[in-house]
Chain A
Amino acid sequence: MIRQIARQRYLVDFTLASMMRRKVKNVVLFGVYFLIVFVLASVMLFGSAIRREAALLLANAPEVTVQKLVMGRHDLISGEHLEALSAIRGVRRAEGRLWGYLFDRGNGANYTMMVPPASDKAHALAPGEAIVGSGIDRVKTIGRNEYLFLIAPSGRFFKFTVKDHLPEGSGLVAADLVLISEQDYRALFDLPEDVYTDLALSIRNEKEVATILGKAAKVIPNSRFVTRSSIARTYESIFTWREGVLLALLGAAILAFAILAFDKASGLSAEERREIGILKAVGWETSDVLTSKFWEGALISLGAFLFGLIAAYAHVFFFQAGLLEPVLKGWAVLYPDFRLTPHIDPLQVTTLAFFTIVPYTAATIIPIWRAAITDPDTVMR
């Protein structure tokens, strides 16, 4: 056993000396390999962590959101439906929600204006008061009890006293939120009484959602029902799609690297052939030559995979995926400042390891095996 270990160490020594003779080529290959693994792993880790975060957080979203549709567009819904919906057996509570968007011409940001539900006593607001999200605090810098000035779409000025800020770390769900009272909301958007953006239903038994929706569709024709499970599926598909788009964009780079690596690994240079011939001539066995080359492939691919994975983990979970941010940010002025809870999907990491380590190592060994089983004299010529 000890002899075997010593033998492998000598083979690694020899392999490294051989690699050092083609230092630049191997360093460039390792660098590109590392970068490819880093980018792929960053996208995978970010995608799986944010999917998990969305699933955990949105598990508390309203069970059913009812929207009125007019000509295929979302329209205001009348409060008179609330009573009819509450009367459906299985509906625990029906509440009108008031939320919408306000474009701030001053800084080009879009705010989500919202009225806290009556059931939420912690965020209850008197007219003239507001609670703002962390993103708004970043673009406007308003302290507690300071004033928030907003221009309504009608051109009227509104002044709110900032009663409080939404907690630090809530950026992922509330960065652009401005909570105001119902009275202010209706005045800001010139809304008549008894209309809502949409209605939220609380259901007693989640298994009854389909039946209740069937009844509700008869109560409010021309409406759309967004269930909690459909929200979860939307987010699942958004991030799978986004991951796919990023991977597709990287496809050309990955393909170029695959060609480079395959060419490097499978095509033996004249120098490498001569080296194998000399080794065979001085008494090396085919298995020794293969083991030496196996080490070369393994050191490059395993090293690039491990270092790439670690760098990607640090990038996504300690540096908030800073390099992916421009893609995520789009044209938005307000962007949430959030830290994802570290999460690794073992299947994804195993897949990444399999597709990065195995093909390269295999591509290194096969041509060497073909050269190594040939007569040394023929190889050297």
Chain B
Amino acid sequence: MSAVRRSDLAIGALAVAAALALTAIAHAFVASRTPPESQAVNAALVRDLGLTDLVLFTDARYTRHPSVADLHSAFQDHPMSLDHFPSGSLIAPPRHIFGTGPRFATGEEIPE
């Protein structure tokens, strides 16, 4: 019986990896079309309780509820009081800074 060639091992390993990657893609495809029960439960909770935000960072109010937090909360205690929570650096600056559209009602001025 001939010994296993290195090329067979290497190409076999690549083939296995490619098959696993395809399986992962197929798994993601199937999973996103058959969402878990928890997704429906969460969607119902959001609707019933009128929730506005996901629970990702519970350390400060502007990280717990970024969509409804004060616009100036990073400087809430003093104009020079910089953000001291690590997750604050992971929250994007308000969108009006980038000029990508107001989050205010028509006619309302955006604070500087």
A and B are partners in one complex rather than unrelated chains: yes
Known contacts A170-B41, A339-B38, A238 near B105 by CB under 8 Å: no
Q: What 3 A-B pairs are tightest by C-beta distance, nearest first?
A: A169-B38, A330-B87, A241-B92
| Closest beta carbon of chain B to A235's beta carbon, Å | 7
Contact yes or no, B105 A214, CB < 8 A? yes
| Closest beta carbon of chain B to A92's beta carbon, Å | 13
| Closest beta carbon of chain A to B79's beta carbon, Å | 12
Known contacts A57-B42, A112-B64, A344-B25, A72 near B17 by CB under 8 Å: no
A334 to B60, CA, bound (A): 11
A116 part of interface (Cβ distance < 8 Å): yes
| Contact digits for A206-217, partner B, Cβ 8 Å, 1 yes 0 no | 000010011011
Which of A141-149, A275-283, A302-310 lies at the binding interface?
A302-310
Contact yes or no, B21 A176, CB < 8 A? no
A306 to B53, CA, bound (A): 35
B66-112 with Cβ < 8 A to chain A: 66-72, 76, 85-87, 89-93, 95, 100-101, 103-108, 111
A273 part of interface (Cβ distance < 8 Å): no
Q: A226: which B residues are within 8 A, CB to CB?
A: 52, 67-68, 103
Contact yes or no, A173 B51, CB < 8 A? yes
Contact yes or no, A233 B95, CB < 8 A? yes
Nearest to A108 among chain B residues (CB) is B59
Task: Point out residues on B near A: beta carbons under 8 Å.
Answer: 5-8, 10-11, 13-14, 17-18, 20-21, 24-25, 27-29, 31-32, 35-39, 41-59, 61, 63-64, 66-72, 76, 85-87, 89-93, 95, 100-101, 103-108, 111
Contact yes or no, B67 A332, CB < 8 A? no
| Closest beta carbon of chain B to A229's beta carbon, Å | 9
Contact yes or no, A309 B24, CB < 8 A? yes
Interface residues on A, range: 35 or more
| Closest beta carbon of chain A to B8's beta carbon, Å | 8
Which of A59-67, A156-164, A260-268 lies at the binding interface?
A59-67
Q: B48: which A residues are within 8 A, CB to CB?
A: 116-117, 119-120, 122-123
Contact yes or no, A344 B107, CB < 8 A? no
Q: Which of B6, B21, B45, B86 contacts A13 (CB 8 A)?
A: B6
A217 to B104, CA, bound (A): 10
Q: B46: which A residues are within 8 A, CB to CB?
A: 57-58, 60-61, 173
